[in-house]
Structure 1
Amino acid sequence: MDAISRRDIDFLLHDWLRVETLAAHPRFEGQSREDYDAVLDLAGKIAAKLGESWKISDSEEPRLDQDGLVRVQPDLREGVQEYFASGLQLSSVDEAHGGMQLPFVVSMGIAAQCMAANVAAAAFPMLSTANARVTTAFGTEAQIAAFAAPLHSGEAMGTMCLSEPDVGSSLGDITTKARAEGEDDLGRRHRIFGRKMWISVGDQDVAPQTIHLVLAKIEREDGTLPPGSKGISLFLVPKILPDGARNDVQVIGLNHKMGYRGTPNTLLNFGEGDRFQPGGDAGAVGWLIGAPGQGLAIMFQMMNEARISVGLGAAALTYRGYLASKTYAEERVQGRPLDDKRAEKPVPLTRHADVRRMILAQKAAAEGALALCLYAAKLADLGESEDAAEREKAEGLLGILTPIVKTWPSEMGLIANQHAIQIHGGYGYTRDFDVEQIYRDNRLNPIHEGTTGIQGLDLLGRKMLFDGMKSFALLMAEIRGEIAACADGPLSAQAAALEGACAQVEAAAAKAAEGDPAAALTHGSQVLHAMGHLVVGWLWLSQTRAAQGAGDDALAQAKLWACRYFFAYEAPMIAAWLAPLMAGDDTTGAVPEAAL
């Protein structure tokens, strides 16, 4: 059984997003559909290899050896190494750095296949590629050669080290410190001291080198650290130093997770022992990347890319659960249909209306989430356009959509995965069927790279209220353009429903803007959910319209029914999410802690 539909990926990329038009931009000049299809075909083969270790790497978790090295499941290790040997990690990397320089949206089509097959294995290239992209964007030529090049080749794996044992999303409170130590060929050298928590791929036996991007604060002359997020800087800290010596970076523990188990998740110590350099200077060696105090701003490039990847991983797992439960429902016979209770033989589960409801709910979530992530990836490509107006528009849309891209697939994917388990009945609650692991793997996605609550504050606060609603107005104009295109024809009813949803969201935005921002932000998560449904409803309308001219009647009909389902069952939830804000309810903000 396929883990994701290649036909749908092709439809979304070519018939809907028309990625071939990107070849009109100098960055992608000379590229063609044949080029894109070739790498997508290769990705399908590599995904199949990664899929072989999906189950076994869930039961055989990474382990920490006495030498401080994390051992991952051997089949997973081999699959990840084969991925890097294929060169797929170079798909969107600049030609100047040895890459193919393909559109980011095409690289997301590659990632979707690999994530659906084995999301834990796909985390290795995702993190390494994002790490290398930050290094090439902000590092010196010497840093790029020393650190980005081995990440591109697969000789090193990359991490992002933000959180600490006592500091999660409030990064201004981190205490990891950097002590200046002069300059060398790689730039401003520092000694790093501190602990980092929740570090995926923190150390492993997939590659001999690990390169950490570490957030830390540069120690002042009096030994204190600068307060707040503006005092955070970013450092490149390799496991193995350029002279071949082992850096003072130690894995001191593994986090044992509910799902996503094939990816090691570690607790790291920087500069807290001389285990690897007895008698040497204290502190892990790291090199400043960018300017002092720019760490969080630089790291947000990697974090925003990671948030799109998290959304895509959730979409891929949602898709896998949808296909698994659909296949099961088609094959499993049970009960008699409502319209023929005297039937002699039981019928497939797909004859039952409630099962069809749950399948449609999953289809709407899976295909809607995949469309959302690929649309955002294309905006990232257009954000590098040579045309200033096109670039500004793409950046504005991507900015307001990023918290939705991260959250909507993550939250709605879990609901869809619950439907997949429910369709399997008791079997879905066992480890004999894939859907229970799909759910466990997917449960991480509303948490990492910024929780749903953080994304709600980002959307309603930074991207709407504190932006003066400029990006919001841009988004609403795009949505209304699609409504106008569908006003007459088979999607007119859905277009009218979307217009009604636009009015509801605009009224809520105006309500939020007229009062105390702190009071409005207590409704951030609900606004995020409502905005997510509005945006995905728009994209369902758009892709369904495109499907009518794609030359595939079966696909066009399937899209039409899923679109009908979304507007009949999902779109009405928008008003319910916005109701507390519209009513001025202050329950969550005003409730005393003692009453909780």
Structure 2
Amino acid sequence: MSARDLRFMVNEWLDLDGLGERERYREHSPSTFADVLQLAERIATERFAPHARQADQQEPQLEGDSVKLIPAIGEALAAHANAGFVAMSLDEEVGGAQMPHLLETACACWFNAANVGTTVYHGLTTSAARLLLTCGSPDQVQTWVPPMLEGRFLGTMCLSETEAGSSLADIATRAEPRPDGTFRLFGSKMWIGAGEHTIGENIVHLVLAKSSETAAGTAGISLFIVPKWLVDAEGRPGERNDVVVAGINHKMGQRGTVNTLLSFGEGAHLPTGEAGAVGYLVGEPGRGLAAMFHMMNESRLGVGAAAAAMGYTAYLRSLQYARERLQGRELGVPSTSPPVPIIRHADVRRMLLKQKSYVEGGLALVLFAARLLDDTLTLPTALERERAQVLLGTLTSVVKSWPSQWGLAANDLAIQVYGGYGYARDYDVERLYRDNRVSSIYEGTHGIQALDLLGRQVFKNDGAGLRVLLEEIEKTVGRARACGGLAGGLASELETVAGELEATTATLAAAPDVALANATLYMEAFGHIVVAWLWLEQVAAAHGGEGDFYEGKRNAARFFYTHELPRAQTGLGLLARGDRLALDTPEAWL
């Protein structure tokens, strides 16, 4: 991660200090914000990064009904929790530091860049605690949230099953009510990150299950707290609940985050004398999926931030390598002359520039989303807050998927810059690629996000989300034109392609079957246009800035508009023609 680029984005562009003047954040000063960001960098560098390779090489081990992790993971998480990062954006009244989400996301980028596998444990915990604060009863909040925010209890989300991945209507885990108001859960959950370990004192599983009291399909899904250890009246862990790890999934990357198959209600532990994992209903019966979306949407933003950070780290590693690696000679130089650093070769600079345009564009996207989240909480009028919420909802799928796709492309290019060394385990770029590959699968696959963007966001409410986006792009175009020069030229290009997006979307609305069959193409074009917009925002923020950093910003923006924005126009052209090739291809032809 680049400390200089983070400072530019959060301070010079997104105005973190200005956020500090709003009522919610007024207790904090700009110096506090700067100190927190520096603290995140220090802990990430000293406690998270050193064991990233070890955690990759020494995978979690299943021993009986528990999972053994390398000690450094727990030690790093303890430092993270003790510094207050688990609760930094939550309300002071619940034990949080009530700092801006923009700052929280910038700090998270440091931890993700250093060691995403360890960072995940507390990322899930913060999201689970926030869900309980939103949907849980006062007693549930009092029992479970404080120890989670202290890092003593850790959280998970349990949605998928072996036969029900994204299709949650098909889950089979069931919950049976008991006279005392609790439930007993029976079934299994697959792909559960951080599902079993001995970090902290307890694990708070948030589990989707069906109850006989509710309807069929997604309307019958309820949400339950199912702790690893039941707690007494004072909240102290006591008897082991009937939830156990049935197996570990051996992953391509992010190996430090244990990923499990969990079984509920198989009789391995009988704390109440009967089979069934004890569960506590969160919110209303049959409203579990709506409640879980609070955590899922937060996790989608988190996945995008992690993907951008991993791509950025790989870019910086390959940049340093290109400056140090001696090989070849420049054109026209005698063969007897000494080799030069490979960064002097134009094709290597092309790959580095491509990476820079991806990773700085992706970082801008996730930080902008975090700023939008702050706006939904702190803008002065309800109308302004609602507008920010509409824009954030429209962009959430893109924030998750664009860095997952193009951050990984940066990882791929980093390996290419290293050449054969990049393909070997001696250098971290190989691991970073493996760690980032799952980003386009986590929290809904690339295709699922595309269907959400087009089917649930762009088309709903008569296109309100797209209108807000286009209005914001128009405002940026106006500011950039006032800057003149490069910014003015890029503004005209963005204005043209934004108009093409609007026209193509209107065409697609008339043929929804064709539109949804091509949703992924639409999202990729849409995402490139959004990132081009945020590149223009950065160019405008850098207006008047002198020196290599600002020139590098302007040059990367120019590259993105020259080499990448045409991808969006090509995609929009295909969409406008109503291509039916995928829709009409028989299974037998595949």
- TM-score class, shorter-chain normalisation, is over 0.9
Residue number in structure 1 paired with 2:507: 511
For residue 475 of structure 2, the aligned residue among 478, 481, 497 is 481
State how far apart, in whole Å, the 2-side matches of 1:584 and 1:415 are.
Answer: 28
Q: Which amino acid aligns with 1:445?
A: S
Query: Which is worse superposed, 310-319 or 500-509?
Result: 500-509
Find the aligned partners of 1:65 and 1:552 in 2 and give their Cα distance: 58
User: What is the CA distance between 1:86 and its match in structure 2?
Assistant: 1.9
Structure 2 distance, partners of 1:82, 1:588, is 50
Checking the alignment, whether the CA contact within 8 Å between 1:254 and 1:267 is kept in structure 2 is yes
2:87 maps to 1:93? no
Task: Name the SS of the counterpart of 1:245 in structure 2.
Answer: strand
Does the CA contact (< 8 Å) of 2:91 and 2:98 recur in 1? yes
CA distances 1:493-534 after superposition (whole Å, capped 9, x unpaired): 21121112112211210111122x122101100010001100
- Kindly state the Cα deviation for residue 297 of structure 1 after the two structures are TM-superposed: 0.8
Q: How far apart, in 1, do the equivalents of 2:456 and 2:527 lie? A: 16
* Structure-2 separation of matches of 1:212 and 1:123: 15
- 2:84 touches 2:97 (CA, 8 Å); kept in 1? no
Distance (Å, rounded) in 2 between the aligned partners of 1:583 and 1:446:
27
User: What corresponds to 1:538 in structure 2?
Assistant: 533
Q: Which consecutive unaligned segments of at least 5 residues does structure 2 have?
A: 233-237
Give deviations 1:308-330, integer Å, cap 9, x for gaps.
10000000001100000000001
| Residue 556 of structure 1: aligned partner | 550
* Equivalent position SS for 2:440: coil
CA separation in 2, counterparts of 1:397 and 1:52?
38
**One-letter amino acid of the counterpart of residue 528, structure 1:** M
Q: Which amino acid aligns with 1:523?
A: N
State the match for 2:235 in structure 1.
none
After superposition, the Cα gap between the structure-2 partners of 1:343 and 1:492, relative to the gap in structure 1 and judged at 3 Å, is: farther
Aligned 8 A contact 1:311 1:405 in 2: yes
What amino acid is the match of 1:403? Answer: S
Alignment of 1:232 onto 2:232: no
Query: Given that residues 39 and 88 in structure 1 are in contact (C-alpha distance below 8 angstroms), is that contact kept between their aligned partners in structure 2?
Result: no
Post-superposition offset of 1:214: 0.5
1:414-445 CA-partner distances (Å, limit 9, x unpaired): 11111100000000000001110000000010
AA paired with 2:486? P
Do structure 1's residue 521 and structure 2's residue 516 form an aligned pair?
yes
Displacement after TM superposition at 1:81 (Å): 1.9
| Residue 9 of structure 1 pairs with residue 6 of structure 2 | yes
Measure the CA separation in 1 of the matches of 2:101 and 2:332. Answer: 49
State the SS of the aligned residue for 1:520. Answer: helix
Does the alignment pair 1:161 with 2:158? Answer: yes
Out of 448, 453, 476, the position equivalent to 1:459 is 453
**What amino acid sits opposite 2:52 in the alignment?**
W
Aligned to 2:390: 396
Q: CA distance change for structure 1 residues 181 and 555 in 2, over 3 Å: closer, same or farther? A: same
- Quote how far apart the aligned CAs of 1:138 are: 1.3
TM-score by length of 1: 0.95
SS class of match (1:383): helix
Q: Which secondary structure does the structure 2 equivalent of 1:61 belong to?
A: coil
Residue 162 of structure 1: CA displacement? 0.5
Give, in whole Å, the separation in 1 of the partners of 2:269 and 2:405.
43
- Structure 2 counterpart of 1:55, from 53, 56, 60: 53
Question: Structure 2 residue aligned with 1:387, among 378, 381, 384?
Answer: 381
- Confirm or deny that 1:210 pairs with 2:203: yes
Q: Do the aligned residues in 1 keep the contact of 2:514 with 2:579 (CA within 8 Å)? A: no
Aligned partners of 2:318, 2:50: CA distance in 1, in Å? 20
2:556 aligned with 1:578, yes or no? no
Q: Deviations over 1:558-578 (max 9, x none)?
A: 100100110010001112222
Residues 115-124 or 148-157, more deviating: 148-157
Deviations 1:371-422 (A, max 9, x none): 1001001111111135201101110110000000000000001111111000
Question: What is the CA-CA distance between 1:88 and the residue it aligns to?
Answer: 1.5
Counterpart of 1:37 (choices 24, 34, 38) is 34
Native 8 Å contact 1:200 1:263 kept in 2: yes
Task: Give the counterpart letter for 1:182 in structure 2.
Answer: P
CA distance in 1, matches of 2:336, 2:476: 46
- Structure 2 distance, partners of 1:82, 1:90, is 13
Can you give the 5+ residue segments of structure 1 that lack an aligned partner in the other structure? none
SS of equivalent to 1:99: coil
- Structure 2 residue 311 is matched with structure 1 residue 313: no
Secondary structure at the aligned position of 2:244 is classed as strand
Look up the match of 1:300. 293
Name the CA shift for 1:490/1:575 in 2 (closer, same or farther; >3 Å): closer
Counterpart of 1:173 in structure 2 is: 170
Which deviations, in whole Å up to 9, do the C-alpha atoms of 1:126-176 show, x marking residues without a partner?
A: 000000001111111211121111111111110000001110011111111
Contact 1:336 / 1:343 at 8 angstroms: preserved in 2?
no
Q: Tell me the residue number matched to 1:490.
A: 486
Query: Matches of residues 256-271 of structure 1 in structure 2 within 5 Å?
Result: 256-271=250-265
Distance 2:361 2:574 in 1: 26
Inter-partner Cα distance in structure 2 for 1:272 and 1:323 = 49
Mapped to 2, the partners of 1:341 and 1:27 lie a distance apart of 65
- Tell me which amino acid in the other structure corresponds to 2:521: Q
- SS of aligned partner of 2:208: strand
Matching residue's letter, 1:500: T
Deviation at 1:278, TM superposition (A): 7.4
1:366 to 359, 364, 372: 359
Q: Residue type of the partner of 1:44?
A: E
For the Cα contact (< 8 Å) 2:101–2:373, is it kept in 1?
A: yes
The 8 Å contact of residues 90 and 152 in structure 1, kept in 2 or not, is answered as yes
Q: 2:231 aligns with which of 230, 242, 266?
A: 242
SS of the residue 1:134 aligns to? helix
Instruction: Judge conservation of contact 1:159–1:202 (CA < 8 Å) in 2.
Output: yes
Distance across 2 between alignment mates of 1:153 and 1:538: 39
Contact 2:240–2:271 under 8 Å retained in 1: no
Q: Using the TM superposition, name which of 248-257 and 143-152 deviates more.
A: 143-152
Percent of aligned positions with the same letter in both sequences?
A: 45
- 1:378: which partner in 2? 371
Structure 1 residue 552 displacement after superposition: 5.2
Structure 2 Cα separation of the partners of residues 47 and 432 of structure 1: 21
Output the CA distance in 1 between the equivalents of 2:62 and 2:200.
15
The 5 A counterparts of 1:66-81 are 66=64, 68-81=65-78
CA deviation map 1:74-95 (0-9, x unaligned): 2222112221122211211210
Deviation at residue 482 of structure 1 after TM alignment: 1.0
2:141 maps to 1:144: yes
Deviation of the 1:58 alpha carbon: 0.1
Q: Is 1:547–1:555's contact at 8 Å kept on the other side of the alignment?
A: no
1:225-263 CA deviation, whole Å, 9 max, x = no partner? 732111111111111101311100010000000000000
The AA in structure 2 aligned to 1:315 is A
Moved more, 556-565 or 85-94: 85-94
Q: Residue 42 of structure 2 aligns to which amino acid in structure 1?
A: K
Q: Pick from 419, 431, 441 the counterpart of residue 437 of structure 1.
A: 431
Normalization by structure 2: what TM-score? 0.96
SS state of the match for residue 104, structure 2?
helix
2:62 — aligned with what? 64
- The one-letter amino acid paired with 2:519 is G
The amino acid of 1:202's aligned partner reads G
What is the rounded CA distance, in whole Å, between the counterparts of 1:544 and 1:121 in structure 2? 34
* 2:60–2:69 Cα contact (<8 Å) kept: yes
